[in-house]
Chain A
Amino acid sequence: MAQSVQTHTGETDGRPPGLRGVVADFSSDQRAFKNVSWGKAMMWIFLLSDTFIFGCFLLAYMTARMSTPVPWPNPSEVFALTIGGQEIPLILIAIMTFILISSSGTMAMAVNFGYRRDRRTTAALMLLTAVLGASFVGMQAFEWSKLIAEGVRPWENPWGAAQFGSSFFMITGFHGTHVSFGVLFLLIVARKVWRGDFDAERRGFFTSRKGNYEIVEIMGLYWHFVDLVWVFIFAFFYLW
């Protein structure tokens, strides 16, 4: 059903230069963002919406932290691990952060190899990203169980304001859920890449549409976003 009629009169290059050109391009027909596919546009707008969710969570946490009359527990002490008789503050969080940021690197490489249609390398890198993501969630589970063993509950904790536990479980839980879904979708897309769905133009099981390697990049957008959100959680929850 592709369009075949050509009514191109050769005047499209006559768009005005400079800022007016930007406006003319943006408000021109068919697409506001040239060379951006529907899927990519949709992911960007979804991420914008998701930013507001995390923004609200973090602002709510900050409000709770500032308005509670009971002192806030010291995160450096709470999140310290004793390794070899030495108490090291935030060591686990530091490792988790390192792992998550590294996984963004492997994801970026996967995108690159995806556009080269190198399906084995792409799939392998996505799998590696998923493994790194899964180990992040695993360490988070370890952190949760350690805190729970020390008596931290959503409604109370041994060191101070009850909102500490509530905010901690809610925000890291919501972020962890994002990472877990990311891992799930990484595995699904990695399987499709590995099987060569995008070379064979195989149709999707649910949508019955053909996919292409751009989905790796869209997946990457989501993954980098989750990573970026973690940086803010790290700064506002653990370092403050």
Chain B
Amino acid sequence: MVDIRSDASEAIPPSEVEDVELYHPKSWWTKYVFSQDAKIIAIQYSMTATAIGMVALVLSWLMRLQLGFPGTFDFIDADHYYQFITMHGMIMVIYLLTALFLGGFGNYLIPLMVGARDMVFPYANMLSYWLYLLAVLVLAAGFFAPGGPTGAGWTLYPPQAILSGTPGGKDWGILLMLFSLILFIIGFTMGGLNYVVTVLQGRARGMTLMRMPLTIWGIFTATVMALLAFPALFVAAVMMLFDRLLGTSFFMPAIVEMGEQLQQGGGSPILFQHLFWFFGHPEVYIVALPAFGIVSDLISTHARKNIFGYRMMVWAIVIIGALSFIVWAHHMYVSGMNPKFGFFFATTTLIIAVPTAIKVYNWVLTLWRGDIHLSLPMLFALAFIVTFVNGGLTGLFLGNVVVDVPLSDTMFVVAHFHMVMGVAPILVIFGAIYHWYPKVTGRMLNEAMGQIHFWVTFLGAYLIFFPMHYLGLLGIPRRYHELGETAFIPESAHTLNAFISVMALTVGAAQILFLFNLVWSLKKGREAGGNPWRATTLEWQTPQTPPAHGNWGKELPIVYRWAYDYSVPGAAEDFIPQNQPGLGGPTREAAS
């Protein structure tokens, strides 16, 4: 067990940094629209991400309608189907998950949780959002461009991505996609630098690195990774733009298109795959690490127990982040690679299971003998653990070369990554919104609607993706517009497909209830007060709720303890806020 010291106070070093100079808005426009306040920017990011995410949700409905009831919907032809797949994937991974976790939660929580007044460079932070919005608009413009959006698949593999057989390949689609990605990366860099520098250089007195809530560790590590991984996507996008616009041959081998020998040749399509996955695999953890961090805090708060093995949790996050840069080629086992590379990448991939398993054990051990409150954030957190373990186990299948080869490009892969990086992080996002909505708006979200939302989403997600594993084991390929009459596909598989589609529509509908809840509770929700969850972290200790511009009133908070002093024996209450002076107050913080 952790030592319980009777006195949490240590030497609080004197203030080293000058207080941040805030920009004080002079008009409605600079206060709410062109705002430099990280909290407003966070809300802008979240709303934009949710809006474009709804588009992606509708696209998934359309795909499921086609897969479940082939031939019923005339307007979903093969071209449209591929365009829906591509836009659904790209929007969900980058414009929803990355933007919501880092731009949304990052902006809102980093300054509040580390005890800063704002991000270190609010102006650059504002630009970050506007570039993100522009990127989203350019992406959405694809739907209205001649030829429609690109249908290259979300991985955009060349040469097919820029050939005329692919929807949008010789039209506007692929160009708008690439421009949008480049804008997103530039915008993200401005925000990301802010998040990293705020965490490294702008913390409150007493807030040491090893006292930071795990939420901040997750977001911080993910941001560092994003700053190092997005460059590869940037370079790949620039080179593909040149291939498409100028006729260069970075990724183009000698190729015959529509019976005509192209001028291009001598390029390497595999090079694109390397660049793409050097970004693409860290991207999985860019989405997962903030989720890991947030879920740790949700579990600790709602089980009224300190997180088990805090230091181990921090190191696991950092190690996962580092390892994720040397596993990318496990996405390319069937691309044609030296078997020795396959061996190397399979080994590193499976090694990641170790720090990940440490995290899962620690979550479970945090719950063990805790005072578990089955509040909505806790339900979502529990659902996350189960889902993540499921998705992680199928990851062990796919990480092995010999097992991956027959499963590659089947529905098994779709089921795996939807479980592990679709459903799991989204569950955390929901849990986090139920958790922090009271701080953002001052009101609680409606509990009844929340319960319906949770059970439909959680059970529905399993009813969608569990059968999909089975379809994959049958050998049903992914990305096929129509299966048709194929000998190896039994009739029951088609029935199962129809069932999955009905469940997908149901789960989608539950999200509309959730959005309604967000709007309804804004006016009608129960008053939350400053700290409804009786949590320890700094964002719940602000003088006003929602926190005012500058967050902390006159004096910045001073941190005396770690973020997990729950149910400390001898304390007056079952939680002790981080900024409560230590004299006379016990702590469970491990002696450092």
Task: Give A residues with C-beta under 8 Å from B.
Answer: 1-3, 5-12, 14, 26-34, 36-39, 41-42, 45-46, 48-50, 52-53, 55-57, 60, 63-64, 67-70, 154-156, 161-163, 165-166, 170, 174, 206-210
Chain B interface: which size bin? 35 or more
A12 and B205 form a contact (CB under 8 A): no
Q: Which 8 A-B pairs have the closest CB atoms?
A: A11-B11, A166-B248, A52-B231, A56-B235, A27-B209, A155-B247, A68-B266, A3-B15
Given contacts A29-B208, A30-B17, contact A41 B555 (CB under 8 A): no
CB of B234 within 8 A of CB of A3, answer no
A56 adjacent to B231 (CB under 8 Å): yes
Which residues of B pack against A, CB within 8 Å?
10-19, 21, 23, 120-123, 189, 192-194, 196-197, 200-211, 227-228, 230-232, 234-236, 238-239, 242, 246-250, 263-268, 271, 274-275, 278, 554-556, 558-559
| CB contact between A63 and one of B17, B122, B271 (< 8 Å): that residue | B271
With a cutoff of 8 Å between Cβ atoms, the chain A residues found around residue B189 in the complex are: 46, 49
- List, sorted by A's number, 29 A–B pairs whose CB atoms are closer than 8 Å: A3-B19, A6-B14, A7-B12, A10-B11, A11-B10, A14-B11, A26-B209, A27-B210, A28-B209, A29-B204, A29-B205, A29-B207, A29-B208, A30-B16, A31-B200, A38-B197, A41-B200, A49-B228, A56-B231, A56-B278, A60-B275, A63-B274, A67-B266, A155-B249, A155-B263, A163-B267, A166-B242, A174-B238, A209-B21
Cβ of A3 to closest chain B Cβ, rounded Å: 4
Query: Is B249 within 8 A of A30, CB to CB?
Result: no
A161–B266 CB distance below 8 A: yes
A170 / chain B contacts, CB cutoff of 8 Å: 238-239, 242, 248
Cβ contacts under 8 Å, A165 to chain B: 248
Known contacts A8-B13, A41-B200, A64-B250; can you find 12 more A-B pairs with CB under 8 A? A5-B558, A12-B14, A28-B13, A33-B201, A38-B197, A56-B231, A60-B271, A63-B268, A162-B249, A163-B248, A166-B242, A208-B23
By the criterion CB–CB under 8 Å, are B14 and A8 in contact?
yes
Q: How far is B242's CA from A200's CA once the two chains are assembled, in angstroms?
A: 47
Q: Which residues of A contact B19 (CB under 8 A)?
A: 1-3
Name the residue on A nearest B234 (C-beta).
A53
Q: Closest CB-CB distance, A20 to chain B, in whole Å?
A: 11
Closest to A49 in B: B227
Cβ of A63: which chain B residues have Cβ within 8 Å of it?
268, 271, 274
Query: What residues of B have a CB within 8 angstroms of the CB of A1 in the complex?
Result: 19, 554
A187 to B268, CA, bound (A): 41
Are the CB atoms of A38 and B21 closer together than 8 Å?
no
> Are B11 and A154 in contact (CB-based, < 8 A)?
no
Task: Give complex CA distance A41, B17 in Å.
Answer: 14
A46 near B275: Cβ-Cβ < 8 Å? no
Q: Does B271 lie within 8 Å of A154, measured CB to CB?
A: no
Name the distance in Å between B336's Cβ and chain A's nearest Cβ: 13
Q: How far apart sit A5 and B303, CA to CA, in the bound complex (Å)?
A: 35
Count chain A CB atoms within 10 A of each CB in B16, B200, B204, B247 and give the residue with the most. Answer: B200
Given contacts A208-B23, A209-B21, contact A34 B16 (CB under 8 A): yes
- A210 x B555 contact (CB < 8 A): no
Q: Which residues of A contact B263 (CB under 8 A)?
A: 155-156
The answer to whether A155 and B246 touch across the interface, beta carbons within 8 angstroms, is yes
A209 → B minimal CB distance (Å) = 6
Q: Which residues of chain A have C-beta atoms less than 8 A from B14's C-beta? A: 6-8, 12
